[in-house]
Amino acid sequence: MMNFLRVLTLGLVILTFSSYSFAEDSAVAETPLTKLEKATVEITKDLDENQAKQFATISNSFGIIRTVEDVQQSITRAVASCSKANPDIKEPLSNRFEVWKEAVRPVMGKARSKMDKMIAMQGFAEASAVRDYLKKYEAAVIYRNQKIKPVPIEKLEDCQKLQTNMDSTQTNLVNLITETLSLNSDLKVKE
């Protein structure tokens, strides 16, 4: 079972970045993606089943938090491009986005706090080693994102749809983060 969890976790990390890592020639250039793959193998190689679960939970939590941050950055760019192309909706769109951020911010703070506790309480590596691993994960995400060219939103109807979608995504995102990361429950420690 513990080998299965290790393989599953490694597989998830590799699949997350596979479309970019396989395009790179790993013998020629070391990238943040290849560094993450090596770090994942290194940190998971001697884990027992419980430690593998702890690692997977921390990695998954970090990935979810990072994804929400990417969504927020995308919405920030969309609001900026909509506001520039449609100055008449700049104020209501910006105000709506501020409300959206204010709703998401405390949940993200709670998520980061819980992840910090998980890092402190885990039993597979020094907390500093786990944080170093997550820095490599962050670098890989940034590297991957640099290869994605954002397309600005400028059509009025698309901008109005963005504003309307913030109503539903605000509640859905807050609920998704809370449920997925179990923010309403205490951490359970298994020795």
Q: Per the domain annotation, does 191 fall within a domain?
A: no
Q: What is the pLDDT of residues 9-47, one digit of tens each?
A: 444 454 454 444 444 444 558 999 999 999 999 999 999
Q: Where are the beta strands (DSSP E) in 38-181?
A: none
Question: In whole angstroms, what is the distance from residue 52 CA to residue 137 CA?
Answer: 17
Q: What is the pLDDT of residues 150-181, one digit of tens each?
A: 889 999 999 999 999 998 888 888 988 899 88
Domain total for the chain?
A: 1
Q: Per the domain annotation, does 61 fall within a domain?
A: yes
Q: Rounded to two decimals, what is the model's pTM?
A: 0.79
Q: Per the domain annotation, does 80 fall within a domain?
A: yes
Could you tell me the residue range of the domain that residue 14 belongs to? 2-180
Q: Per the domain annotation, does 28 fall within a domain?
A: yes
User: If pLDDT is split at 50, 70 and 90, which confidence band does 123 have?
Assistant: very high
